Amino acid sequence: MSWDSTLNLAAYADVEAESNYATPESLRNYRALLLQKSVPVADFIGRLPRKNRKLHVLELCSGSSRLLYALNERGILAEGYGVEVSQSRHEFAETWKKDLSACNVHNLLCDVGEYHFRHDRLDVAVLIDGALSYLYPCDPKLPTRVLCELQNRLVAGGKIVMEFDLLPKEHVEVMHREGRRRTWNKGDERDAFGYALYQVEPVDWDHMVFQNTSIYLPRTTAPEKVKQEIYKYYSTQELAALLDEVGFDVEYFGSFGAEAYTPQSKALIAVATKR
Ligand SMILES: C[S@@+](CC[C@H](N)C(=O)[O-])C[C@H]1O[C@@H](n2cnc3c(N)ncnc32)[C@H](O)[C@@H]1O
């Protein structure tokens, strides 16, 4: 392995630190933004067959647990478990849970690689925002191990909902030509930063592993924040083979709006069903 396999565990160390939200209003607005961002995924999960039952959901790399709170808000969550390694995000999730009195949401501060899967009879497992892509750089065997655990813990017909970033051909060309690709993004007015610069560079072309450096410029005179993470891009063929090997059928979508995936799609959503 030619990269730092611990990088992802520390990447989000200060993200969503409560000190970022100086007033109750800024915290309220930011939580509203997180719930708004979760609408398409929560709607998608709400449309999965569930025989009028509430769902038992496990999310890996759950961040602020925003999706679990969005599912709870819709009244379709029986129990939700979120596994997240960043202490600041875990604390953010816990404060939010207290304010919502959401005692059916369980925020677990843990590295997925160290997590003991112990909750049985799960209806849905969630790895969105490229969560599976973050696991391979920690340990190339981890994705298969996690999928095997989920195969054991899901009910028959249970689903894994996964979301992956796609690497457009033009970006590959830029990286082959220039060794990296940079983009500027303007933050939403409720974000703690005004602008972010993202730089992606290849670390292993054979396994499609890339390092992303994000530089966040705060709205105040506070120093900029730098975040580095490593992830793997999966092709649909590679994913199908991985999922088939551990007993799942897979269906692809191009968005959480549920349109079919095509090579022109901007995102890749994979829904794996336990055989
Ligand atoms: C792109 S974020 C997505 C988070 C979540 N979906 C959200 O929107 O808040 C990736 C998250 O995965 C977490 N993460 C990365 N590797 C992890 C690991 N091995 N175990 C647990 N969490 C991990 C990071 O700390 C980060 O919060």
Do residues 149 and 259 both lie within one domain? yes
The residue whose C-alpha atom lies closest to atom 15 belonging to ligand 1 is 8
Looking up tokens 């604390």 gives: 91
Categorize the per-residue pLDDT at 228 as very low, low, confident or very high, splitting at 50, 70 and 90: very high
| pLDDT at residue 102, rounded to an integer | 98
Do residues 26 and 110 both lie within one domain? yes
Q: In angstroms, rounded to a whole number, what is the distance separating the alpha carbons of residues 62 and 16?
A: 13
What is the residue range of 18's domain?
A: 7-166+233-274
Do residues 158 and 204 both lie within one domain? no
User: Would residue 96 count as lying in a domain?
Assistant: yes
pLDDT higher than 90, residue 81 = yes
Q: What is the number of domains present in the chain?
A: 2
Indicate whether residue 64 lines ligand 1 (CB < 6 A).
Answer: yes
The residue whose C-alpha atom lies closest to atom 23 belonging to ligand 1 is 61
| pLDDT at residue 22, rounded to an integer | 85
Indicate whether residue 7 lines ligand 1 (CB < 6 A).
Answer: no
C-alpha closest to that of 162 among 183, 146, 140:
146
CB atoms within 10 A of CB 249: 12
Do residues 115 and 92 both lie within one domain? yes
User: Would residue 56 count as lying in a domain?
Assistant: yes
| Range in 14-28, 70-84, 129-143, 200-214 with the lowest mean pLDDT | 14-28
Categorize the per-residue pLDDT at 192 as very low, low, confident or very high, splitting at 50, 70 and 90: confident
* Residues 67, 93 contacting (CB under 8 angstroms): no
C-alpha closest to that of 127 among 69, 76, 58:
58
Do residues 218 and 114 both lie within one domain? no
Indicate whether residue 138 lines ligand 1 (CB < 6 A).
Answer: yes
pLDDT tens string 134-189: 999 999 999 999 999 999 999 999 999 999 999 999 999 999 999 999 999 998 88
User: Would residue 258 count as lying in a domain?
Assistant: yes
Do residues 122 and 207 both lie within one domain? no
| pLDDT at residue 32, rounded to an integer | 97
Do residues 106 and 29 both lie within one domain? yes
Do residues 249 and 116 both lie within one domain? yes
Categorize the per-residue pLDDT at 221 as very low, low, confident or very high, splitting at 50, 70 and 90: confident
Do residues 52 and 181 both lie within one domain? no
Do residues 196 and 257 both lie within one domain? no
- In ligand 1, the atom with minimum distance to the C-alpha of 128 is 6
Residue of 4, 33, 36, 84 to mutate, ligand 1, most atoms within 8 A of C-beta: 84
pLDDT higher than 80, residue 238 = yes
pTM for this entry:
0.93
Indicate whether residue 66 lines ligand 1 (CB < 6 A).
Answer: yes
Q: In angstroms, rounded to a whole number, what is the distance separating the alpha carbons of residues 227 and 38?
A: 23
The residue whose C-alpha atom lies closest to atom 9 belonging to ligand 1 is 63
